[in-house]
Structure 1
Amino acid sequence: MNKYLWNQWSIVSVITLLCAFCLYLPAYAGADEDLISAVENNKTHRVKNLLEEGASPDVRDLHGETALMLAARNKNLEMGRLLLEAGANPNLQNKYGETATMLASYYGQLDLIKRLYAKGAKIDHDGWNPLIYAASKGYKQIVEFLLDYGARINATTDNGTTALMMAARGNHYDTVDLLLKHGADVSVRNEADGTALAWAQKRGHTDIVQLLTHKRQD
């Protein structure tokens, strides 16, 4: 083969490979986009099929939310199970630093949290965390589960907020009581010098004020 023909053959080969590669990528990009759409619309069977076809279980939507995070927001346990079994990483974060476990805690999904934990999800970390999210909504069972499995009861956010403060702020008496029984520190102050008691007083949560006052006097 002369030099000219060799060069022509090489160019054609490169172009052919590039075309094949370009055709390959959209196929998977389309599957990933379809997966996000299926998760958003709670089409569990469609998600199962797309995962079997090779869609990534860690695909993100345009806002940086993973499919697993969307399942948690939608309170779809079966969807979460499918994604986890397909290898979804439970510790990925969105642009706000939230994980699927944090969102499951905020939306009251205890069974999903248990599945996430079984797949290696972190339930205790610095900053906003699952415990603080659960306490802010008063999900007593979730708070208890997280504490039983190692969440630090007095962990704080970057501005010094604790789970106790958030429970008191939200007027969640039973959750405040549970946190106190597990050793929550009523004396912790945030960066604005606020305490759980101060937040309860400010919002007029009388029963919680009495509970915290009694604990502080012990």
Structure 2
Amino acid sequence: MHKDLPEIRSPRARVRTLVATGALVACGLLSGVALAGAYDDALSAATSGDAKALSSLLHRGIDPDTVDSNGNTLLILAARDGRTAAVEALLQYRARINYRNAAGDTALMLAVLRGHEDTARVLIKAGAAVNQEGWTPLHYAAFEGREALLKDLVAAGADVNAPAPNLATPLMLAARNGHIGFVRQLLAIPRTELNVLNEAGLSADAWALQNSNTDIAELIQAERKRRGLPAPAIRVMIE
């Protein structure tokens, strides 16, 4: 999860080890030192993007779903750093494409968050989930204003009105952070909802105004008027 995004309350923390470890040790084929070395080599190859070395390790039996101490799989590490060739190698060995790390992030989410367009598109083409409970790749794209990936995500079936854990929609996140180009693209999609409210009771234009993004607020209000929609209901938070 991006450090500036609200905390996910129920992250899925799942840590896996090398699948072949027990069998190899039992057969005496690899020592503990060799196994540790292979594990470190796999993590290094994924993060550095050394697809040739990674493919060799995978061919020798390294689990493609090996994780680091933070619960990041090799695929997540490679995608996070934009190592497209390494991602493709891992997908060839059927790495779990929708595995979520301890923060709830998938490989696609982190590729989108960091703006690794080629990597994200490879994952989307391979069938990575664009919709899921909690934060989604489209939320991350909206938060960072990744306009180049918006069409790819929507074309893959991403829900443009998906609520994040704080009930923010992609339109709200883009409006809050001043990404006017992203907002324009979302407003051009007829099914994008304009009057939903986040957990603070703010609509997308109200959140934009709260962050001094008046041009974005005006765009949303103009689109609301064009659609003949009423102003959103006001939800007052009482503590």
TM-score (norm 2): 0.77
Greater shift after overlay, 19-28 or 155-164?
A: 19-28
- Alignment gaps of 5+ in structure 2: 1-22, 227-239
Partner SS, residue 121 of structure 1: coil
Partners in 1 of 2:194 and 2:104 — Cα distance?
Answer: 27
Partners in 1 of 2:110 and 2:90 — Cα distance?
Answer: 15
Partner SS, residue 64 of structure 1: coil
Given the alignment of the two structures, is residue 81 of structure 1 paired with residue 88 of structure 2, yes or no?
yes
Q: Does the Cα contact within 8 Å between 2:124 and 2:156 map onto a contact in 1? A: no
Residue in 1 that maps onto 2:210: 202
- Alignment gaps of 5+ in structure 1: 1-16
Residue in 2 that maps onto 1:44: 51
Residue in 2 that maps onto 1:59: 66
Partners in 2 of 1:114 and 1:88 — Cα distance?
Answer: 16
Given the alignment of the two structures, is residue 188 of structure 1 paired with residue 187 of structure 2, yes or no?
no
TM-score (norm 1): 0.84
Change (3 A) 1:59 1:36: same
Query: What is the Cα deviation at residue 25 of structure 1?
Result: 6.8
Partners in 2 of 1:115 and 1:193 — Cα distance?
Answer: 37
Aligned length: 202
Change (3 A) 1:81 1:172: same
Q: Bigger relative contact order, structure 1 or 2, given CA contacts below 8 A and separation 6+?
A: 2
Q: Does the Cα contact within 8 Å between 1:28 and 1:54 map onto a contact in 2? A: no
Counterpart residue identity of residue 206, structure 1: T
Q: Cα deviation per residue 1:28-83 (whole Å; 9 max; x = unaligned)?
A: 45322320122223333322222222212111111111111111111111111111
Residue in 1 that maps onto 2:157: 150
Say what the alpha-carbon RMSD is for the aligned residues. 2.1
Given the alignment of the two structures, is residue 116 of structure 1 paired with residue 118 of structure 2, yes or no?
no
Partners in 1 of 2:24 and 2:149 — Cα distance?
Answer: 51
Partner SS, residue 185 of structure 1: coil
Partners in 2 of 1:115 and 1:37 — Cα distance?
Answer: 21
Query: What is the Cα deviation at residue 148 of structure 1?
Result: 1.4
